[in-house]
Amino acid sequence: MSKTLAEKTYSIIEEKIVKLEYQPGSFITENFLEKNLKCGRTPIREAIQKLAGEGLIKVLPRKGLLITEININEQLSLVQVRREIERLMAKLAAKNSTINEKKQFKEISTAMKKCRQNDTVKFIKLDRQMNDLLSLSCGNEFVRRSIKLVASLSRRFWFYRNKGEIEDLIVMAKLHSAVCDAISQGNEKLAQSKSDKLMDYIENFTKDSINNI
């Protein structure tokens, strides 16, 4: 299904915020976004509403749009919520995904296993494909909405702490691959277990980040 202009605009702005092109704590305006993205005001305003709902932007009347700060100490609470949503998504995807979607999970898994330490761009692309496929195949709109509330904030924290690099990329790729394999097999319990292992890694990374402040 093709994206609307507002959805495309949202994706572009979200990516720029997550990858820190629009710095935390900085102000931007609708006029700036129109010029920067070469886009009309209506899709930009729709995108801003979604981003504000996800906690990435705060709309300040007569001042502009504040790119929210990164609160490192709140990340563990965020991980706790994300763990439960990710586990449910993995279970539902294993249960509800079509034959074609299971095939796609297998293809992502195979590609993940081939990642090397310097394949950051490749991994990020595969990670997004996996997340999009999880959201699509879980078959639950409320779960889709819930993951959006934490996913962007989690990704931005990762970029902030890693400066765009992944210290243990091969380990991360294998953990993601294991989730995809379980879903492709339609094994609900295994999918949940592998999702938990992935979130264990992310939680430990978050704790280390907080301890090293």
Q: What is the pLDDT of residues 80-100, one digit of tens each?
A: 999 999 999 999 999 999 999
**Per-residue pLDDT tens digits for 58-70:** 999 888 999 999 8
User: What's the pLDDT score for residue 164?
Assistant: 60
- 116-124: long-range contacts, CB 8 A cutoff, minimum separation 24: 116/169, 116/170, 117/169, 117/170, 118/169, 119/169, 119/173, 120/164, 120/165, 120/166, 120/169, 123/166, 123/169, 123/172, 123/173
User: What's the pLDDT score for residue 213?
Assistant: 58
For the segment 100-113, the average pLDDT, to the nearest whole number, is 98
In this predicted structure, the answer to whether residue 23 has a pLDDT above a threshold of 90 is: yes
In 134-172, which positions are buried (b, 16+ CB within 10 angstroms) versus exposed (e)? bbbbbeeeebeebbbebbbbbbbbbbbbeeeebeebeeb
* CB-CB contact of 96 with 188 (8 Å): no
Closest CA to 24 of 57, 63, 62, 48: 57
In this predicted structure, the answer to whether residue 162 has a pLDDT above a threshold of 80 is: no
pTM across the whole model: 0.84
107 confidence band (pLDDT: 50, 70, 90) = very high
* Tokens 């380990």 sit on residue: 171
User: What's the pLDDT score for residue 208?
Assistant: 85
User: What's the pLDDT score for residue 168?
Assistant: 85
